[in-house]
Structure 1
Amino acid sequence: MPICPKGHTSTAADYCDDCGAPIGGAAAPAATPVPEPAAPAGGGPQTCPQCGTARTGRFCEVDGYDFVAADLGGGPSTVDPADEATGTPGPDGPEPESAGPDPDDAGSDPDPGTGSDEAAATPAAGTGWQVAVTADHEYHKRVLSMGGPDADAMVFPQFFPERRFRLTGGQVLIGRHSRSRGIDPQIDLSGPPEDPGVSHSHALLVAGEDGWSVVDLDSANGTYLNDGADPIEANVPVPLHDGDRVHVGAWTTLTVAAS
């Protein structure tokens, strides 16, 4: 099987099923390894809480349980098998609110949250949060200016209907569906059109007492917040405020709003 620059075995030959890194192109910079959790008190190997299989990597080889996502808090999201075949988010995930763009919002640029003292206090997670997914031309231009190895292939889509999701549960996975890996994100960015820079398990939205945080899951291309020039640190929760923009991939922006 093909092996990506990060060392993951992949069934796909173009992009890695695990992290989304391109296969066969320029090698991605070495990523900070995800620390293994401490062994159980008895000294034995860590096992999958769903089937009892001993852990050999990030995902359980039997049922696809994500040990890393569970360690970040909130526990793994459960996907209804009936929903897996259609890609429809399960009952514990966000619910799409509209399939097309709002004409009144065309060309608008959401007010970026800064997290400064002037911003309103972060609403609690239970007060109702939404995420709007859009194709962001300004962010796309920033990605092209970085001059990555795949920049020429990252063409901005001519049509991308805005999608809205309501955040529920303890955590929400952002990424692209992979049947071979058993990855079924609640916010599935598989497209069409598909953003080639989004990893299958790219980032996680985690609920807390004071609101939601975003965690980059050591993705191939990183996760950016608002106008930040550098990606956020992998595997470290970053609190979100009303109006913050989370950038992933080549041109995808997720704008969070508390209601």
Structure 2
Amino acid sequence: MADCEHSWGEDGFCEICGLAEAPSAPPPAPEPARARECPVCGAPLDDRFCEDCGADSLATPPPRQTAPPLEQPVPAPPAPARTAGTWSVVVSADRKYYESVKADGGPDADSIMFPPYCPDRHFELHGEQVSIGRRSATRGIQPDIDLTGPPEDPGVSRLHALLVAQPDGGWAIVDINSANGTTLNHRRDTLKPNTPRSLEDGDRIHIGAWTTITLHAD
């Protein structure tokens, strides 16, 4: 057959020789888009700012980091555990404290007498706080350390003070704005009301006219 110049018809065949037109090669597949990376930490980048490290991808990149910066939170130090063991107090009539109250004077000082007999009373300390005072049925007051007599110290308020447990296992004393105040270890200055004062083994708490409460670590 003579050479054909191939005049392709609409049906894909040469109108002169009838040869079918060779199919055209498909266009090459586009290269997959390259994933963007943060210029600072290398994390996948979907927007201008990196979601991992916050870097601006349009800014001049700083030196590449080997790993994303992580904020390491500093844990709060644990509260000191309360030490094992028990604490108790001994309530007694204190002649030395009574004499200091008499020496300071006051409208009722002369009328209050030191009790001729007052056995010591012992109380173990439990829980978070221990109230000190004199019970009153009419007012619904039931202190944990009840100093109701006989003999009864009239200088002790119905709710006089609190012993408050401390995180380190010790105790503190808080005067609850009592009428006659609270002192420690035969000092003359009274404690500031509603303010805890830390105590140590053997400390003596003075309330009323002759009552002393001595703290013991058993």
Name the CA distance, whole Å, in 2 between partners of 1:126 and 1:152: 45
- Whether 2:82 is the aligned partner of 1:128: answer no
- Whether 2:142 is the aligned partner of 1:142: answer no
- Of residues 219, 230, 240 in structure 1, which corresponds to 2:178? 219
Amino acid at match of 2:166: G
Deviation at 1:187, TM superposition (A): 0.4
Name the CA distance, whole Å, in 1 between partners of 2:145 and 2:179: 18
Higher relative contact order (CA 8 A, sep 6+): 1
Aligned to 1:191: 149
| Structure 1 contact 125–208 (Cα < 8 Å) conserved | no
1:150-169 → structure 2 map (5 Å cutoff): 150-169=108-127
| Structure 1 contact 175–202 (Cα < 8 Å) conserved | yes
Q: Label 1:184 to 1:126 Cα distance change in 2 as closer, same or farther (>3 A).
A: farther
Deviation at 1:125, TM superposition (A): 6.2
Deviation at 1:209, TM superposition (A): 1.0
- Of residues 188, 207, 213 in structure 2, which corresponds to 1:254? 213
SS in 2 for 1:229: coil
Identify unmatched segments of 5+ residues in structure 2.
Answer: 1-80
Aligned to 1:245: 204
Superposed CA RMSD in Å reads 1.3
| Structure 1 contact 198–221 (Cα < 8 Å) conserved | yes
TM-score (norm 2): 0.61
| Structure 1 contact 125–212 (Cα < 8 Å) conserved | no
Q: Label 1:126 to 1:173 Cα distance change in 2 as closer, same or farther (>3 A).
A: farther
| Structure 1 contact 128–166 (Cα < 8 Å) conserved | yes
Deviation at 1:227, TM superposition (A): 2.1
Larger Rg: 2
Name the CA distance, whole Å, in 1 between partners of 2:166 and 2:141: 23
Amino acid at match of 1:258: A
| Structure 2 contact 90–121 (Cα < 8 Å) conserved | yes
SS in 2 for 1:141: helix
Deviation string 1:178-232 (CA, Å, 9 cap, x unpaired) is 1111110010011110001000000000001121000000000000010211111
